[in-house]
C-alpha cells in the first residue's frame, strides 16, 4: 500500500465526509468564484491606479518592479481580509450545524474521540482555506512576473496567510462547539475576528496615551500587535526600506508598526526582532494562544457524558 493510499485509508472519517459534502456543494463553488472575482478586481484596480499615477513619468525608469511589489502586497492583503470575512462563515457552523441537524449525538457516541471529531472539522475547514489560497495563487504570479518581489517573499506570505487562515478556521470551529446555536457561534466568531484585528491597535493607542501621561516619550511598545492577524503576514510578506512609491500595505505595516525593533537594530530587512526571534512566528504563536483558549473550551464542551445535553 502506498503512502498516499494509506493516508486515504486512514483518513479522519469526519474530514472524509466533510470533503465529500463540500465538493458537492454549490456554496463552495460560489465562495471560490466570489473570492477570485474580488481579487482579480483588486489586482486590476491597483494596475489602473498605478498606470494613472505614472503615465507622465520618465518611461526609462524601471516602473514594473514597483507595481509588482505593490500588486503582491495589495492582493495578499485583500486576500487575507476576504479570508477573515469568509472563514467564520464556513467554520462557525461546523459543530453547531451538526447539533441543529441532530447528527451530533449519533457522531459523539461512536468510537471517535472528541478531539478526533473536532480536528476532523478543523481539517475540513482548513482544507477549504487551502483550496481558496491555491485557487488564487495564479493571481500572485502576475506580480512575480512584473518583478520587484521575490519568490521567497511570495512563498512566505502565502504560508503565513495559510497558517493564519487555519488558526481562524480553528477559532470558528471552536465557537461552533462552544455555542449551541449556529447564529450565536457565527456572530461570536466574527466579533473575535474584528476584535483580534482592531483590539491590538486600540491597545497600542491606550499604552501610548498612558506613556505620554506619565511623561515617557520613548517609542511605544507594539507587542499587542502580535495578536493582529495582519501583522504576522506583514512581517513575512512586507519589506522594510522600500521607497514610498513602491510600498504596499504590508511594507507600511511592517515599517510603522514594528518601530521599536527598528530602533533597536537600525535598518532591519529581516524577520527577526531585537531578541533574534522571527516576528511572524511570534505573531502566529500569539494568535495560536488566543485560539488555543477557545479550543480548550470547545473540547470541554464536547466531552461526554455531560451534566446536560445540548
Chain positions contacting another protein, by CB under 8 A: 9, 13-14, 16-17, 20-21, 24-25, 98, 101-112, 304-309
Residue matched to cell numbers 512563498: 155
* Closer Cβ to another protein, 57 or 303, answer by number: 303
Q: DSSP label at 247?
A: -
Q: For residues 268 and 149, is the Cβ–Cβ distance under 8 A?
A: no
Cα–Cα distance, 190 to 11 (Å, whole number): 30
In the complex, minimum distance from the CB of residue 171 to another protein, in angstroms, rounded to a whole number: 24
In the complex, minimum distance from the CB of residue 131 to another protein, in angstroms, rounded to a whole number: 17
Output the CA–CA distances (angstroms, integers) from residue 151 to 145, 148, 156, 169, in the order listed: 10, 10, 8, 26
Cα–Cα distance, 200 to 11 (Å, whole number): 38
In the complex, minimum distance from the CB of residue 237 to another protein, in angstroms, rounded to a whole number: 36
32: closest CA among 127, 115, 113, 131?
A: 131
- The burial class, CB within 10 Å (0-12 / 13-18 / 19+), for 54 is middle
In the complex, minimum distance from the CB of residue 24 to another protein, in angstroms, rounded to a whole number: 4
In the complex, minimum distance from the CB of residue 111 to another protein, in angstroms, rounded to a whole number: 5
Left if phi > 0, otherwise alpha if psi is -120 to 50, otherwise beta: which for 241?
left
Q: Estimate to the nearest angstrom the gap between the alpha carbon of 9 and the chain centroid.
A: 30
Altogether, the residues listed in the chain come to a count of 310
* Closer Cβ to another protein, 31 or 70, answer by number: 31
Q: What is the DSSP string of 150-182?
A: -HHHHHHHHHHHHHHHHHHHHHHHHHHHHSSSH
In the complex, minimum distance from the CB of residue 9 to another protein, in angstroms, rounded to a whole number: 6
Amino acid at each position: 500500500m502506498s503512502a498516499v493510499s494509506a493516508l486515504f485509508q486512514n483518513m479522519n472519517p469526519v474530514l472524509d465526509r466533510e470533503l465529500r459534502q463540500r465538493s458537492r456543494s454549490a456554496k463552495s463553488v460560489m465562495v471560490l468564484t466570489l473570492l477570485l472575482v474580488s481579487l482579480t478586481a483588486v489586482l486590476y484596480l491597483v494596475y489602473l491606479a498605478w498606470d494613472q499615477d505614472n503615465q507622465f513619468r520618465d518611461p526609462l525608469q524601471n516602473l514594473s518592479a514597483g507595481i509588482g511589489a505593490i500588486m503582491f502586497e495589495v492582493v495578499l492583503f485583500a486576500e487575507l481580509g476576504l479570508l477573515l470575512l469568509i472563514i467564520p462563515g464556513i467554520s462557525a457552523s461546523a459543530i453547531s450545524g451538526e447539533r441543529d441537524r441532530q447528527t451530533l449525538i449519533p457522531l459523539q457516541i461512536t468510537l471517535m474521540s472528541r478531539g478526533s471529531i473536532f480536528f476532523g472539522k478543523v481539517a475540513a475547514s482548513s482544507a477549504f482555506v487551502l483550496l481558496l489560497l491555491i485557487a488564487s495563487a495564479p493571481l500572485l504570479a502576475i506580480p512575480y512576473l512584473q518583478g520587484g518581489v521575490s519568490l521567497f517573499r511570495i512563498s512566505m506570505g502565502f504560508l503565513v496567510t495559510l497558517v493564519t487562515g487555519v488558526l481562524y478556521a480553528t477559532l470558528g470551529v471552536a465557537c461552533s462547539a462552544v455555542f449551541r446555536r449556529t447564529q450565536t457561534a457565527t456572530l461570536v466568531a466574527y466579533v473575535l475576528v474584528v476584535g483580534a484585528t482592531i483590539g491590538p491597535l486600540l491597545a497600542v493607542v491606550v499604552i501610548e496615551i498612558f506613556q505620554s501621561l506619565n511623561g515617557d516619550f520613548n517609542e511605544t511598545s507594539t507587542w499587542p500587535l502580535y495578536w493582529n492577524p495582519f501583522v504576522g503576514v506583514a512581517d513575512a510578506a512586507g519589506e522594510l526600506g522600500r521607497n514610498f512609491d513602491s510600498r504596499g500595505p504590508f511594507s507600511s505595516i511592517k515599517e510603522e508598526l514594528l518601530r521599536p525593533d527598528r530602533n533597536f537594530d537600525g535598518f532591519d530587512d529581516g524577520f527577526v526582532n531585537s531578541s533574534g526571534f522571527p516576528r511572524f512566528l511570534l505573531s502566529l504563536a500569539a494568535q495560536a494562544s488566543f485560539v488555543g483558549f477557545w479550543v480548550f473550551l470547545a473540547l470541554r464542551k464536547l466531552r461526554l457524558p455531560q451534566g446536560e445535553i445540548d
